Amino acid sequence: MQITQIRTDHTLMAVELRSSADFPIRFYLDVMDEFDQSCIRWHWHPELEFNVITRGTMEYYVENDHFTLSAGQGILKNANVLHMAEPSKNTPNAEMFSIIMDSSFIAPPQSLIYQKYVAPLGGNQGFRCLPLDPALPWQADILDCLRQAYELSLKENGAYELHIHRLMCQVWQSIAEHSHELPRQTLSPAELTNQVRIKRMISYIQETFPQKITLDDIAAAASVSRNTCLNCFRTVLGLSPLEYVANLRIELALHLLVSTTMPVAEVAAACGFEDAGYFGKAFRKKTGLSPTQYRTRRLQAE
């Protein structure tokens, strides 16, 4: 299955990635050039997610952590963790497959296996993500199991559901056996509150960023003060709210410059830049090229 857009509700929870209750695991092929603006915007979901890069290089953002991963590497993201992904600069045709799995796929929540091996990890807010590197033998085994499970999902031959279940249990066994190596971060009540606030504010920004938007508007989306808004963005994402807005506008500009013939001034206006000259400066700062140079190079490369 392939998707080209992650749809979310007002809290940024993904609404179309849910697995079915009778087989709570889903598989996706993510071809980044076919996504809206060539990126997967900030979102979260109550399931675990595994990604394996099959082509190119990807930039992953898991809250305020940043990882650059190339073909053959992967990442596990815990349930309910805010994340986004985009191709690295000058990386056309980046591709990965994704596995979104409810933790109950391993074992029923009331079972001893779940309580002993799943709940302490899958439900622990302190464990956010784990980059997977084939240079480490135990992580190489996990990546191999994930690849096998994805291939089985494409063929659906024989008792493939049982085979997939066995492979994902093997993945989780490796994670449980190396739980002492997992990066952890204990969140305070204040940090958990920030998680709720940032989801509301980012959701508002993603819906309105092509329009005029102020810091007061963003703060109001979460019913907080300007200072609280600024601190929340700095703490969770490591950038200011208006920097986040500017990044979204540049991402949209990158898409419009290649997918349309709109004049640069019209692209600037469509992305929320009131001044075409400022748009050009912001675009060059982000990409190292003027909008016209970027459009020309991308079209010549196709």
Per residue in 35-70, pLDDT (tens digit) is 656 788 888 888 999 999 999 999 999 987 899 999
The more confidently predicted of residues 89 and 163 is 163
Segment 153-186, tens digit of pLDDT: 999 999 999 999 999 999 999 999 999 898 877 7
Residues of the chain with CATH 1.10.10.60: 189-301
Q: Are 150 and 168 in contact (CB under 8 A)?
A: no
Rounded Cα distance between 72 and 144, Å, is 10
Nearest residue to 264 (alpha-carbon basis) of 290, 298, 299: 290
CATH 3.40.50.2300 is the classification of domain 189-301:
no
Segment 181-201, tens digit of pLDDT: 988 777 778 878 888 899 899
Residues of the chain with CATH 2.60.120.280: 25-181
User: Residue 136: how many CB atoms within 10 A of its CB?
Assistant: 14
pTM over 0.85: no
Residue type, 69: L
CATH 2.60.120.280 is the classification of domain 25-181:
yes
CA distances (Å), 136 to each of 13, 81, 132, 141, 178, in order? 32, 25, 8, 9, 12
Tokens, residue 195: 């998680």
Among left, alpha and beta (phi > 0; psi -120 to 50; other), residue 182 is beta
